[in-house]
Amino acid sequence: MNGGGEMNDKGQNTPVLVIGAGIAGIEASLLLANSGRKVYLVEKTSYTGGNVIKFEEVFPNMDCATCMIAPKQQELLANENIELLTLSEVEAVQGSVGDFSVKVRKKASYVDSENCIGCDACFDPCPVEVDNEFEERLSKRKAIYIPCAGALPNVPAIDTENCLRFKGQECQACQEACIFEAIDYTQQDEELELKVGAIIVATGFKSFDPSKITRYGYKKLDNVYSAMEVERICASNGPTQGQILTKSGEPPKSVAIIHCVGREEKGYCSSVCCMASLKLSHFFKHKLPEVKITQFYSELCIPGKAYQKFYEEVRESGVDFIRATVTEVSQSGKELAIKYKTEDGKENTLNADMVILNPALEPGADSSKLAETLGIPQSEDGFFSEKAPDLTPVATAQEGIFIAGCAQGPKDVAETVAEAEAAAGRILALSR
Amino acid sequence: MEEGFTPKIVGFLCNWCSYAGADLAGAAKLEIPSSLSVIRVMCSGRVDPVLVATALLHGADGVLIAGCHPGDCHYREGNYYARRRFALLKKTLETLGLDSDRLMLAWVSASEGQRFGEVTNEFAEQIKEMGPNPMKKKSAL
Amino acid sequence: MAKKIGVYVCECGANIAEKVDIDKVIAAVSPLKDVEVTERHKLLCSEGGKEFLKQSIEEHGLTHVVVAACSPKQHELTFMNVCGQAGLNPQLFQLANIREQCAWVTPDGEEATDKAIRQIRAAISRVLYHAPLEKKEVEVSPDVLVIGGGIAGIKASQLLAAPDRKVYLVEKTSSLGGKVKNFSKLFTNMESGLDLIAQELQSLVENENIEVLTDSEVEQILGFLGNFEVKVVKKVEDKELNFNVGAVILATGFELFDPKGLPQYGYGKLDNIYTSLEFEEMNIPDGPTGGKILLKNGKPPESVAIIHCVGRKEKDYCSKVCCLYSLKFDRMLKSQLPAVKVSHLYSDLCIPGKSFQKFYEDTRKMEIEFVRSSRTEVTGNGKGTTIKYETETGSKGDLAADMVILIPAMESSSDAQKFAEMLNIPQDERGFLAEEHQLLGPVASAVEGVFVIGCAQGPQSISESIVQAEAAAGKILSALVPGRKLELEVRTSEISENFCLGCKICIDVCPYGAITFDEMRRISVVNEVLCHGCGSCAAACPSGAAKLRHSTFPQIYQELKEVLR
């Protein structure tokens, strides 16, 4: 990346690039756009809302996540200063604060968003069925798809990796079904050149893959789930419409929630999992009042003024808490046997119908590639680094490039939104 | 239950949650009773008891008020007021000699298309069982 | 003026047309009174459709427009814009939802058609009662008042101040820097808080757009977003300062829970028991002990016990940063007294975040003892103290300590209450200033234009306080742009002077404090800057004086009348 430019006025009133349309990206974009700045919001998937829209409820007040985020998404889509580029990724960045040149590759969706009215008529006829990543592979989608009901923008995209036509076969099923002429196979990927004055990286997180730790039996045993899968199971617009069922089709009578999956491997505490475990317990108890829930944890991390009360409520509702390390999850007849060791060294086993693993939060995929493209450092764990840790959480070593939300480190929604607003604030104040 | 009785149900749906939930029910192509006529308001807290009374006096066989779940109100507390008014309204309707089951309050979130379908269909069934609003014959409006 | 309504029925391709008999619909609504033209179109939201609509409105000189199509949540704005472009006030428009809530959910075509007709008739009747609301703007001050000169207040001031935006930074004591100026070391970089503050103050003093008012107190704040009237008293000179600002930031910081109320810790009774802030003071280079960690007898301690969560049960929350700064204390102790024995009595280790576990692990390498205790008691033993503890499994133990450092809960500073009352900001059950929305509005407050940042709103680290300061600055920089007027929500409430009884019920129910009472006229008045248009007042008003524009009783009544026909 080049440094310095002759007339670098730090970019007052220049457009801003926001990478990632999760809650951090959305909030930062709105703040910038409402001040009058133009925003390019680049999102690699076809939808906005990131991880938060996958949750049915969010802690500590059990707000309905979609109800909370939908007005923001709608505001985003209606805001004339924000250009949302879905299926897009940043390929190259040159220049410096006030004067960045950004190359963005916008993948074709093969759906004309002007003509498409979001009626979903193209889904049925599509002969291809694949796992739906948004639904944590718990249900299927077609090769032309939107990730879930209510996804915004409500415009489908063709997954060219699985679409028969794009693999060389004759198939026009979706185009034939569309009466609005919204399906356009001639669409091309685009290379966009954007000139922006500042950049915010808000690429969020993904979950640590629990199958890396074999003792938990993830992906080997039935009814061992990762927390994100359970979030989709709880969702009223999810694969089971919010019904909690084990693989046998029956609701579980007993559930074990295991914290800190991957904590040792990653070397940090992911900040939100204790609260997320409490939230799931609360939801389960609400749907299945008789269910027996046991939480296996090492340290209870419920920081801040709002969380302890919720913990106490969940505790009082009859959820058990065992401070222990889980040494093995194995099949025991129809149930799962959770072998654990408490702090005094004693070993014990608990049986449960369902096991929920709460994994560490990791930086989003491709973050290393993005760090290199932007020329900003990452720490060992892959999160983007702040310029002065402890003092400037949203600023990076590159002037004009900011980070916000879980791209910077695992944190809850409140802190994420504050960082998004802080990054926007620093950009708006840049031209001084 | 009266033969050939097609109830008229008015639904006051709040813009942010329940109306969105109703739209989602539409996107999912669920079956919603055609007897339901929806009036969009910004907040369930906007629903004045006089509006409900007016609806009933004009022949509504059932009135549904739908809003965000407690805690999720887009305007913070509007739905709490809706809840209180609803409770009082129920009592008032009883004293007027009207079956207060003709009034229903439901919380439907923006992602609860299914729930909207369940609530409305159940309510329509209930109203059908109850028969026409006795006020219909009495009022001269 | 003659009313001319244009009714446009969208086929939405086949989505509406295949279920709803549009011919029948048109036949039903064309003859209605005031309907000038009725048209159908394949796809009104398309570019072609919008152009068609615009031309039709202009051609027929329409006064009102009804579109029957998809949900207003999809395209109300789209068609309102078309009306605007066609020279018609966009509020004189109504969208009838005959897709999501009609065609898509009614299997029987005849029923669907009847329902569509009902909804369209309702829209036609209603739209005549729409008022041509005009956009409103108000002048605002871009200046900002920051209350509290700690790290949060300082950072916010720096980010906001500009030649076209003045910042007033008011601090009640004689020096800026809050608590941080007394921290000789900060976690995790172990750099000096004093130096950090000194640096910040340097740039602050040089900034001519920041007026620093130390030894000053805010006496009164009246007004609302964009137009706050502030009165500040400079105590030393006994001078009063009056000025206007557009926004207020509360950064009044924290205090520590007083351990005196918990006799089991021996605070105030036994010697050499310190709170964390007192220990910090001891370490200040030019402080009372010259920065040396000493017991009352002037000797350095040989063993130190750090007791976590003092007051946690009483306050019912975790103060978030204590485990981390206790690790900082370990390093400070070991750095000065390499042989000192340090023991932590704690319940849970709270070290969330990507860098803190490493900080913890590296600190433990310095031979620090961690004892998980569910009940801790400090007793005197003649020489120093004996810390009695009980583990979670019930077994008991004790250890000796020359010095005890208590880690008390962090509370909101006592000033918070004064400002909560002055500005009508709720305090939560724990005494902290409440943010507007715990997740989506972490630095805004229930009162628009007033922000709450740092430990005033909840226990947090320096870096989190800085983020919040920058976030509040971001929100203000976005909303209050110098030279730009504030555009107000159009569909707000209004209260009829004639019908208002002065009962004030509306003031109680308004979630935004947008209604005030005019003592002179004895009526309630809506502040349109603050009104969000929910209609709670309209529903609660016993006399019908309060009306929500664009959701008035007559408008809703027209819809009711038609659907119940």
Which residues of chain B are within 8 Å of residue C120 when distances are taken between CB atoms?
A: none
* Residue-level pLDDT at C383: 85
* Residue-level pLDDT at B139: 53
Query: Is B71 close to A62, i.e. CB distance below 8 A?
Result: yes
**Res. C206: pLDDT tops 70:** yes
Question: What does the pLDDT look like over A306-363, one tens digit per residue?
Answer: 999 999 999 999 999 999 999 999 999 999 999 999 998 999 999 999 999 999 999 9
**Res. A3: pLDDT tops 70:** no
List the structure tokens of C16. 């509406």
What HEC string does C186-233 produce? CCCCCCCHHHHHHHHHHHHHHCCCEEEECCEEEEEEEEECCEEEEEEE
| Least confident piece of the model among A8-12, A204-208, A272-276 | A8-12
Select from A71, A120, A150 the Cβ nearest to the Cβ of B24.
Answer: A150
pLDDT band at B2 (very low <50, low <70, confident <90, very high): low
Q: What does pLDDT average to over chain C?
A: 95
Which residues of chain B are within 8 Å of residue C561 when distances are taken between CB atoms?
A: 58
Give the nearest chain C residue to B56 (CA atoms): C564
Give the nearest chain B residue to C558 (CA atoms): B39
> Using CA atoms, how far apart are residues C283 and A34, in angstroms rounded to an integer?
47
Question: What does the pLDDT look like over C403-452, one tens digit per residue?
Answer: 999 999 999 999 999 999 999 899 998 999 999 999 999 999 989 999 99
Q: Is A63 on the interface with C (CB under 8 A)?
A: yes
Select from C186, C319, C320 the Cβ nearest to the Cβ of A390.
Answer: C186
**Of the candidates C363, C307, C360, which has an alpha carbon nearest to the alpha carbon of residue C333?**
C363
Query: Is A415 close to C464, i.e. CB distance below 8 A?
Result: yes
Select from A64, A149, A241 the Cβ nearest to the Cβ of B69.
Answer: A64
Q: Is B119 on the interface with A (CB under 8 A)?
A: no
* Residue-level pLDDT at A432: 53
CB within 8 Å of chain A, chain C residues 12-51: 12-15, 43, 45-47
- Shortest alpha-carbon distance between residue B72 and chain A (Å): 6
Q: Is C543 on the interface with B (CB under 8 A)?
A: no
Q: Is A75 on the interface with B (CB under 8 A)?
A: no
Helix/strand/coil for C545? coil
Query: Is C470 close to A422, i.e. CB distance below 8 A?
Result: yes
* Residue-level pLDDT at A4: 40
CB within 8 Å of chain A, chain C residues 293-352: 312, 316-320, 347-352
Query: Is C351 close to A389, i.e. CB distance below 8 A?
Result: no
Query: Is C564 close to B8, i.e. CB distance below 8 A?
Result: yes
> Using CA atoms, how far apart are residues C305 and C400, in angstroms rounded to an integer?
8
* Residue-level pLDDT at A115: 86
Instruction: Provide the residue ranges of all domains of chain B, joining segments of one domain with +.
Output: 9-138
Q: Is B85 on the interface with C (CB under 8 A)?
A: yes
Q: In whole angstroms, how large is the CA radius of gyration of chain B?
A: 14
* Residue-level pLDDT at B135: 78
- Shortest alpha-carbon distance between residue B4 and chain A (Å): 34
Select from B68, B72, B111 the Cβ nearest to the Cβ of A237.
Answer: B111
* Residue-level pLDDT at A120: 87
Fold of C5-133: Rossmann fold (3.40.50)
Which residues of chain C are within 8 Å of residue A61 when distances are taken between CB atoms?
A: 438
The helix/strand count (H/E) of chain A reads as: 9, 23
What is the widest separation between alpha-carbon atoms in chain C? Answer: 102
- Chains with ≥3 Cβ pairs under 8 A against C? A, B
pLDDT band at C211 (very low <50, low <70, confident <90, very high): very high
- Shortest alpha-carbon distance between residue B113 and chain A (Å): 8
CA dihedral for A237, A241, A243, A249, sign (positive or negative) = negative
- Shortest alpha-carbon distance between residue B114 and chain C (Å): 12
Neighbours of C470 (CB within 10 A): 33
Query: Looking at residue A61, what DSSP letter applies?
Result: T
Helix/strand/coil for C284? coil
Return the residue in A38, A55, A75, A421 with the most chain C beta carbons within 10 A, the one to mutate for interface testing. Answer: A421
User: What is the torsion angle, in degrees rounded to the nearest 10, for the CA atoms of residue A281, residue A283, residue A287 and residue A292?
Assistant: 0
CATH of domain B9-138: 3.40.50
CB within 8 Å of chain A, chain C residues 502-541: none
pLDDT band at A9 (very low <50, low <70, confident <90, very high): low
pLDDT band at A1 (very low <50, low <70, confident <90, very high): very low
* Residue-level pLDDT at A6: 36
Select from A36, A304, A425 the Cβ nearest to the Cβ of C473.
Answer: A425
Q: How far is CA A189 from the centre of its chain?
A: 25
Give me the total of CB pairs closer than 8 Å, taking one residue from chain A and one from chain B.
52
CATH of domain C144-253+413-479: 3.50.50.60
Instruction: Provide the residue ranges of all domains of chain C, joining segments of one domain with +.
Output: 5-133, 144-253+413-479, 259-408, 489-549
- Shortest alpha-carbon distance between residue C421 and chain B (Å): 20
**Res. A180: pLDDT tops 90:** no
Select from C71, C553, C560 the Cβ nearest to the Cβ of B55.
Answer: C560
Select from A32, A78, A308 the Cβ nearest to the Cβ of C316.
Answer: A308
Question: What does the pLDDT look like over C314-324, one tens digit per residue?
Answer: 999 999 999 99
Query: Is A236 close to B111, i.e. CB distance below 8 A?
Result: yes
Q: Is B115 on the interface with A (CB under 8 A)?
A: yes
Fold of C489-549: Alpha-Beta Plaits (3.30.70)
Select from C101, C551, C556 the Cβ nearest to the Cβ of B22.
Answer: C101
- Chains with ≥3 Cβ pairs under 8 A against B? A, C
Q: Is B54 on the interface with C (CB under 8 A)?
A: yes
> Using CA atoms, how far apart are residues C141 and C421, in angstroms rounded to an integer?
23
Return the residue in B109, B114, B118 with the most chain A beta carbons within 10 A, the one to mutate for interface testing. Answer: B109
* Residue-level pLDDT at C13: 81
Q: What does pLDDT average to over chain B?
A: 91
Q: Is B111 on the interface with A (CB under 8 A)?
A: yes
Q: Where in chain A is the domain with CATH 3.50.50.60?
A: 16-107+189-204+364-428, 208-360
Q: Is C472 on the interface with A (CB under 8 A)?
A: yes
* Residue-level pLDDT at A282: 97
**Of the candidates C489, C72, C493, which has an alpha carbon nearest to the alpha carbon of residue B19?**
C72
Select from A62, A63, A150 the Cβ nearest to the Cβ of B111.
Answer: A150
What HEC string does chain A produce? CCCCCCCCCCCCCCCEEEECCCHHHHHHHHHHHHCCCCEEEECCCCCCCCCHHHCCEECCCCEEHHHHHHHHHHHHHHCCCEEEECCEEEEEEEEECCEEEEEEEECCCCECCCCCCCCCCCCCCCCCEEECCCCCCCCEEECEECCCCCCCCCCCEECCCCCCHHHCCCCCHHHHHCCCCCECCCCCCEEEEEEECEEEECCCEEECCHHHCHHHCCCCCCCEEEHHHHHHHHCCCCCCCCCCCCCCCCCCCEEEEEEEECHHHHCCECCCHHHHHHHHHHHHHHHCCCCEEEEEECCCCCEECCHHHHHHHHHHCCCEEEEEEEEEEEEECCEEEEEEEECCCCEEEEEECEEEEEECEEECCCHHHHHHHHCCCECCCCCECCCCCCCCCCECCCCCEEECHHHCCCCCHHHHHHHHHHHHHHHHCCCC
Q: Is A188 on the interface with B (CB under 8 A)?
A: no
List the structure tokens of A373. 């493209």
Q: Which CATH superfamily is domain A208-360 in?
A: FAD/NAD(P)-binding domain (3.50.50.60)
Q: Is C430 on the interface with A (CB under 8 A)?
A: yes
Helix/strand/coil for B66? strand
Query: Is A68 close to B71, i.e. CB distance below 8 A?
Result: no
| Amino acid at residue number C368 | I
% of chain C at pLDDT higher than 90: 94
Q: Which CATH class is domain A16-107+189-204+364-428?
A: alpha beta
Is-contact B125 A161, C-beta < 8 A?
no
Residue appearing with tokens 């390019």: A40
Strand partners, A99: A96
Q: Is C244 on the interface with B (CB under 8 A)?
A: no
Return the residue in A58, A277, A305 with the most chain C beta carbons within 10 A, the one to mutate for interface testing. Answer: A305
- Shortest alpha-carbon distance between residue B33 and chain C (Å): 7
Select from C443, C463, C477 the Cβ nearest to the Cβ of A390.
Answer: C463
Which residues of chain B are within 8 Å of residue C533 when distances are taken between CB atoms?
A: 42
- Shortest alpha-carbon distance between residue B104 and chain A (Å): 22
* Residue-level pLDDT at C565: 87
Q: How many residues are present in chain A?
A: 432
Select from A70, A118, A235 the Cβ nearest to the Cβ of B20.
Answer: A70
* Residue-level pLDDT at A7: 38
**Res. A379: pLDDT tops 60:** yes
CATH of domain C259-408: 3.50.50.60
Put residue A137 in one of left, alpha, beta given phi > 0 → left and psi -120 to 50 → alpha.
left
Query: Is B78 close to C97, i.e. CB distance below 8 A?
Result: no
Q: Would you say the CATH fold of C489-549 matches that of C259-408?
A: no
**Res. A45: pLDDT tops 60:** yes
